[in-house]
Structure 1
Amino acid sequence: MTDALIETRTPKRRITDPAEALAALERAIPNLVDYLRPAPAVLDWALIEEALGTTLPSDYKHLAEWYPTFAIGDYILVSLPEPGEEHLVHRGFHSALDVLVDAWLEPDLGLLAYPAAGGLLPWSESESESESESDESDKCMWSTAGDNPQEWLVTVAGRGGAWWHYDGGAVQFLAELCDNSLEPWGLRIFEPEVTPC
């Protein structure tokens, strides 16, 4: 599906503070704040992370506490846990992993699925016309290498076969993709506007 693994893109500065990363995303997508919760959701992260077998990055958790699932530009679907549905979250991750294993992985390039050491764990994808086409969507994943999820890379797999890494967190990745400071290799251009899901 791919000729070669494209290089790693590195931001000018990796944002490590979850609130700062979220503020950057809110600046990049002005109407995102229309969907801001009045108070942060209380999510049972222990239940979610125990089911997955790993701690998740704090920027993703912070985003999920303040926002429900949303789509950017009717293109990128950012699925987030909902309070009271934590017991279902692992199913979404495992469903995405099944698609990844069946249709996307490039073992010859060392691209393996989580829970393999350093394996890829999907957290977002482009929207498809139907569920049966989910293997045709672009994928955004964490490369789970290392003991610290705050240092995981984002790995992107474009439906056209382009693979690349981004040396920053998921929320910073979305912010830079939406404010055009990150070249969208293999991803289509879209309007940085949020629609609820």
Structure 2
Amino acid sequence: MTDLTALRQLCPVPGAPMNIEWDAVETALDMSLPSDYRQLAEQYGPGIFCGYIHIYHPHGVTAFVNLTGPMPARIRAQLRKDFDHGTYPIPHNPDHLFAIGVTDNGEYIFWITDPVDQPERWRIAVNEARGPRWYTFDGPLTEFLTSVLSGQTSVPQFPRGLLEEPPAFTPAHPALRKTAPFSDQVPVDTAAIRAWALANGYNVPSRGRIPPEIREAWEQATP
């Protein structure tokens, strides 16, 4: 049984597979991508696992959860700054960390792109949202998701109640707002707002309603 098959049994695929222009995606990223991620992205599309884990996708509904959007580069730049200044210990070279997902609490999920030209050998790392801890998984992304969502792997940074409900995948759909001052803006993802707020020094709750002043600041900072 492949990791994707096992994942599909845990979290049924919500619809038909997507057609993704991988040549264009890899050209934009200037790197090849693991085959398991390609299959995962095609089968599931953009969305969230267990209401908590957002995997970046070439068709992410906002720039903040889009694989070719600004977040991977911004996160790497912040890691490099932390590494150079000794803010937090980072167990991997920041130049070999590529953000592939984010949680509702602000943890980032990374590919360890070493060696960079052999994506089938890339492993997974998870940082702590507001602390120094890191977790490394010795396997690819789909295996990581399957192991976590089946309960075989416990990531210290993830909440203990993550699997209180049966694992599920929820597709991401654009949610157009009709109330001022946000009526003319692009669809948003609350995880993207939380991740942006944490990266920019805001005290944002990990769950529940996002304070309007934080959401407004995010809107003003988003093209």
- Assess same fold via TM > 0.5: yes
Aligned positions of 1:127-146 closer than 5 A: 127=104, 137-146=106-115
* Other-structure match for 1:194: 169
* Other-structure match for 2:31: 54
- Tell whether the 8 Å contact from 1:71 to 1:77 is kept in structure 2 after alignment: yes
Q: Give how far 1:127 is off.
A: 2.3
The reply to whether residue 182 of structure 1 matches residue 161 of structure 2 is no
Q: Give how far 1:73 is off.
A: 2.0
Q: Give how far 1:177 is off.
A: 0.3
* Other-structure match for 2:53: 76
Query: Which of 62, 70, 92 is matched with 1:111 structurally?
Result: 92
- Tell whether the 8 Å contact from 1:48 to 1:89 is kept in structure 2 after alignment: no
1:71-125: CA deviation from partner (whole Å, max 9, x where unpaired): 1222111232239xxxx95642x32330342268535645343xx3xx1001111
Q: How many residues align?
A: 158
* Other-structure match for 2:120: 150
Q: What is the distance in 1 between the residues matched to 2:24 and 2:39?
A: 16
Q: What is the distance in 2 between the residues matched to 1:89 and 1:139?
A: 14
The reply to whether residue 98 of structure 1 matches residue 74 of structure 2 is yes
Gapped runs of 5+ residues in structure 2?
173-223
The reply to whether residue 23 of structure 1 matches residue 5 of structure 2 is yes
By relative contact order (CA 8 Å, sep 6+), the higher-ranking structure is 1
Gapped runs of 5+ residues in structure 1?
1-18, 129-136
The reply to whether residue 44 of structure 1 matches residue 21 of structure 2 is yes
Q: What is the distance in 1 between the residues matched to 2:109 and 2:127?
A: 7
- Tell whether the 8 Å contact from 2:127 to 2:133 is kept in structure 1 after alignment: yes
When the two chains are superposed, the root-mean-square deviation of aligned CA atoms in Å is 2.6
Q: As a proportion of its length, which structure holds more strand? A: 1
- Tell whether the 8 Å contact from 1:28 to 1:176 is kept in structure 2 after alignment: no
The residue type paired with residue 26 of structure 1 is R
The residue type paired with residue 173 of structure 1 is F
Aligned-partner SS, 2:151 = coil
Q: Give how far 1:195 is off.
A: 1.9
The structure that has the greater radius of gyration is 2
Aligned-partner SS, 1:121 = strand
**Percent pairwise identity:** 24
The ranges of structure 1 where at least 4 consecutive aligned residues each deviate by more than 6 angstroms after the TM superposition are none
The TM-score, its normalising length taken from structure 2, stands at 0.62
